[in-house]
Amino acid sequence: MVLGIVVLFLVLVFYQVPGMIRRGLWGELAAYAFFWVLGLTVAVAMALGMKVPNPTHGIEFVYRPLASVLEGFLKKP
């Protein structure tokens, strides 16, 4: 399973990266590499049965206090 995931991710790299390099899209290449490594890490961890945290919890952690502040501003006095 892990080998299949790695092969699929490598196919994506060989398809996407040469065009980015040819066109000099270095910023896009850096972002692609960051998310590629992140995605590969999460996919392999899940394939190995490791518990992967739900990203929704992190989003809630950031936005819940902001929502409370906004609700305070929007309440009628």
List, for residues 35-66, the tens digit of each pLDDT value: 999 999 999 999 999 998 888 998 999 899 98
Q: How far from the centroid of its chain's Cα atoms is residue 38's Cα? A: 6
CA dihedral sign of residues 31, 37, 40, 41: negative
pLDDT at 37 (0 to 100):
96
Query: Tens digits of per-residue pLDDT, 9-37?
Result: 999 999 999 999 999 999 999 999 999 99
pLDDT at 14 (0 to 100):
95
Query: Which residue in this structure is represented by tokens 């398809």?
Result: 15
